[in-house]
Chain A
Amino acid sequence: MESDAQLETRHNADGELESVISMLERVQARYNYLPEEALRKVAAETGRSMVDIYGVATFYRAFSLKPRGKHLVSVCLGTACHVRGGPIIAEEFERQLGIRRGETTADKEFTLETVNCLGACALGPIVTVDGHYFSHVSTGRVKKILQQAREGLDVVEVKADERVFPVEVSCPHCNHSLMDERHLVDGRPSIRVTISFGKKHGWLCLSSLYGSYNVESEYPIPDNIVAHFFCPHCHGELLGTTDCPECGAPMVRMMIRGGGMVQICSRRGCKGHILDI
């Protein structure tokens, strides 16, 4: 961890400091492990003892005090996966990577760990790599899975990945379509809205792919800014029904063609959203 790195803290709607766990989660997400210095900063920020922070950091499996590799391979050794050959899969991963479970490869590419259940027992043996599930894994597939991980699993394939799909939305007030055929984001017609923040007022084009967070806008929007979203046709504010479940900022509501509603967080950088079909 660089010494000048700032530990950003967030406050909830009541102005209370966020919990230790969510702070540690962000440090873990950023550095892939919890550096000692970060733990000290969290302790200082929350006014708690170092022992408390260290206790939390060592209690949860999601946190690691040792640097983890770029890709995290979790092999399930729960009861169902165990009887279906989970241990053989784990051994095959150990052989292919040349490390033991719990260790990280020398090139910091892979960390191998075993978990007790991934909650998909019927599909065992289960392996997850960076949050992607692989079911009915056989020893022959291990090499392919590692190859796939090296190439990158997060490359969005619209057709193959069911988590990403295009939506067409309209204004909840005037029911006018918000789709902009001329302005393409992610190679598809974008969702055009008007936003205002501070004294700036301009257009914003959101990707129409559900699961993609790409946007283009007239003015650059600083991180963490909470903007107001308006319909470009009736100029009514697209105010959501609730606050963001992730950060507490107001939500932005849009109707989905074919029925349903999607709400996104109005805070730049927050990925909070609610889909209601």
Chain B
Amino acid sequence: MINLKINGLDVSVEEGTTILEAARFIGFPIPTLCHNDGLSPYGACRLCLVEIGEPPRSKLVTSCTYPVEEGLIVRTDTERVIRTRKMVIELLLASSPMSKTIQDLASKYDVHQQRFKQEFEECIMCGLCTRMCEEQMMAKAIGFRGRGQNRSIGTPFDITSEECRRCGACMYICPICMARCQGPQEESPLCNACLNLSPPCVETYGQKMCYMDPCVACELAGPYRKDKQRKEKEESAPVAR
């Protein structure tokens, strides 16, 4: 067993566990995008950054790929981590604002602005689909092609691979494929409508069917309203320390 400290809490986990698994095991939430429990860690999205070591020599590492070490000091909620995490979300928003996953992340982690040149990419190179295809579907029909700016995901020669069984797992796991809520603010690159006390989509979807599942707005509204969540967090915080 390996002993380490996460947010000041002594934790003992088995060797080979990653920081992410250890932190989630004792209940510290770390946002992830390219991580999936059934797939090998990849470390592409940089959302799971945590700070390790003592300041001033602390550094940021991706918790999903970092195996625990004896005596490691991990902090998941420092100002530096939160600032960097916001920046990562902002950059994701700059590349793929039409994704529900990324819009939800922006709402959840208080990202209210997007200061970069707006692009509308259809892929963020998180590698979830290629790993899904290889590791769970045992097909390896799609993969990375090219490099640098020209890197893309697809099949060789852009024709359907012999290995492809059209299982659709790649689409199922893709965080970008699911379009965001087409509510009242759909034109803007950053929605954040879910942060309102009464989400604007409630008025619009009086007549429309909403297919969002789960809908962040619905989850935050009512019993799980944001202010209440914050109060709960404050109450539970001393226990964690």
| Binary A-proximity of B153-190 (CB < 8 A = 1, otherwise 0) | 00111000111000000000000000000000000000
Of the candidates A36, A52, A55, which one forms a contact with B157 in the assembled complex, judged by CB atoms under 8 Å apart? A36
Q: B147 contacts the other chain (Cβ, under 8 Å)?
A: yes
Q: A59's closest neighbor in chain B, by CB?
A: B147
Chain A interface secondary structure, helix, strand, loop or mixed?
helix
Residues of B within 8 A of A49 (CB): 134, 140-141, 143, 163
Interface members, chain B 139-154 (any A CB < 8 Å): 140-147
A228 to B192, CA, bound (A): 78
Q: Is A58's CB under 8 angstroms from B145's CB?
A: yes
B147 touches A51 (CB 8 A): no
The answer to whether B162 and A50 touch across the interface, beta carbons within 8 angstroms, is yes
Q: A59-B146, A59-B147 are in contact. Are A51 and B141 (CB under 8 A)?
A: yes
Query: Is A210 at the interface (CB under 8 A from chain B)?
Result: no
Number of interface residues of B (CB under 8 A): 15
Within A55-80, the residues touching B (CB, 8 Å) are 55, 58-59
Which residue of the partner chain A has the closest CB to B161? Answer: A50
Question: Does A39 reach chain B (CB closer than 8 Å)?
Answer: yes
Which residues from B are CB-within-8-Å of A50? 156, 161-163
Interface residues of A toward B: which range?
10 to 19
Partner of A58, one of B147, B155, B162, B163: B147
Q: Which A82-131 residues sit within 8 Å CB-CB of chain B?
A: none
| Assembly CA distance A49 to B141 (angstroms) | 8
Q: What's the nearest-Cβ distance from chain A to residue B42, in Å?
A: 15
Q: How far is the CA of A36 from the CA of B161 in the complex (A)?
A: 13
Most chain B CB neighbours (cut-off 10 Å) among A39, A50, A51: A51
Q: Does A54 contact B (CB under 8 A)?
A: yes
Cβ–Cβ contact B142 & A51, under 8 A = yes
Beyond A58-B146, A59-B147, whether A51 also contacts B161 by CB under 8 A is yes
- Chain A, Cβ-Cβ closest to B147: A59
Residue of A nearest to B163 (CB): A49
Q: How far is the CA of A123 from the CA of B108 in the complex (A)?
A: 56
CB distance from B60 to the nearest CB of A (A): 28
Smallest CB separation, A46 vs chain B (Å)? 13
- Shortest Cβ distance from residue B236 to the other chain A in the assembled complex, whole angstroms: 46
Q: A54 — which chain B residues lie within 8 A by C-beta?
A: 143, 145, 156-157
Say yes or no: B155 contacts A51, CB within 8 Å. Answer: yes
> Which of the listed residues B141, B155, B156 has the most CB atoms from chain A within 10 Å of its own CB?
B156
Closest approach, in angstroms, between the C-beta of A67 and any C-beta of chain B?
Answer: 15
A51's closest neighbor in chain B, by CB?
A: B143
- Across the interface, name the chain B residue whose C-beta is closest to A52: B143
Q: Which residue on A lies nearest to B146, using beta carbons?
A: A58
Q: Which residues of B contact A52 (CB under 8 A)?
A: 140, 143
- Residues of A contacting B140 in the complex (Cβ-Cβ under 8 angstroms): 49, 51-52
**Roughly how many angstroms separate A70 CA and B140 CA in the complex, as a whole number?**
35
Given A36-B157, A54-B145, A59-B146; 12 other pairs, CB 8 A cutoff: A49-B143, A49-B163, A50-B163, A51-B140, A51-B141, A51-B155, A51-B156, A52-B140, A54-B156, A54-B157, A55-B145, A58-B146
The 8 closest A-B pairs by CB, nearest first: A51-B143, A54-B156, A49-B140, A58-B146, A58-B145, A50-B156, A59-B147, A55-B143
Question: Could you give 10 example pairs across A and B, Cβ below 8 Å?
Answer: A49-B140, A51-B140, A51-B155, A51-B163, A53-B156, A54-B143, A54-B157, A55-B143, A58-B145, A59-B147
